[in-house]
Structure 1
């Protein structure tokens, strides 16, 4: 189901990718291809690769991508784990994880860090995840998550601690911003971290 928040989140991520100047982009946890479809139409992006562990969702994404006009970015999809190092995915300009990390248990979060930041080392990494502080605005009861498959939902302080730790351990810098709303006290429905590899120009 596509919601207004989902559309706003995707638009924000596409704009953030464009700001990096990336020509090659990874969408990790691409699902049915929502972000891949949008990135394929961005001027200057020449290659988009979507990775998804669920084979059925990969098939659905492939069906949707079959309608893309010729002459745009080269698009590839693969059914693969996000927590394993794939040498063929090293060297991308930018990688995106849009509302993905909260679906992973902590052990897999650590494996993802090693595979992505330590192994594949894209120039930039863009991560979004729900902001737990905003849950009351959405009517989510206390001590409940927005989705039954979520292993956690972090507040902004916890997300920042994780992001800064990842950056320090792997020679990246990181910035954070609220997205999908701007409550004066609670922030947005989602939160976004943009990591930049140490050898990349600001």
Structure 2
């Protein structure tokens, strides 16, 4: 694949606890990035913390984390030409279940990645003004529920067929009033089987 020229975070949203914010900073520090933190405000709940990530080429990425209750929320956008910084941010988005719209810029095209709760939900290729979906996460919950329901129906059908077999065996040995009760139950079960198999 062609070399990436830059990575643009059109939208980045992270919500971190104070411990997670410390972990976020340490993640970048472990990989040689310089981080600076500045707290703005008067020591209250609505203070903001500016985190500045500085890469090896002295490129600064300012991120503002607003304090909301016991969490810090960051909604930001930036562009970087440093591949390792982009990779570390991708790792942070995954680790902290962030949301992002990321454009990976190449010479003749770009790849657009959508992240929701730390997972890639969509990948698109944009080339010559045309957009093609490469990957799209399909919420399979409804399909799985349908399959489970189908499976439950099959289990019910098997169970009813076993009941019918037992009743037919009993019918062969029965007589009088008991025979009429078995016929009534067989009619009910066959009607229920008909509905389930439809």
Place the TM-score, normalised by the shorter chain, in its bin: under 0.3
Which structure carries more strand by proportion? 2
Larger radius of gyration: 2
Q: TM-score, normalised by structure 2?
A: 0.27
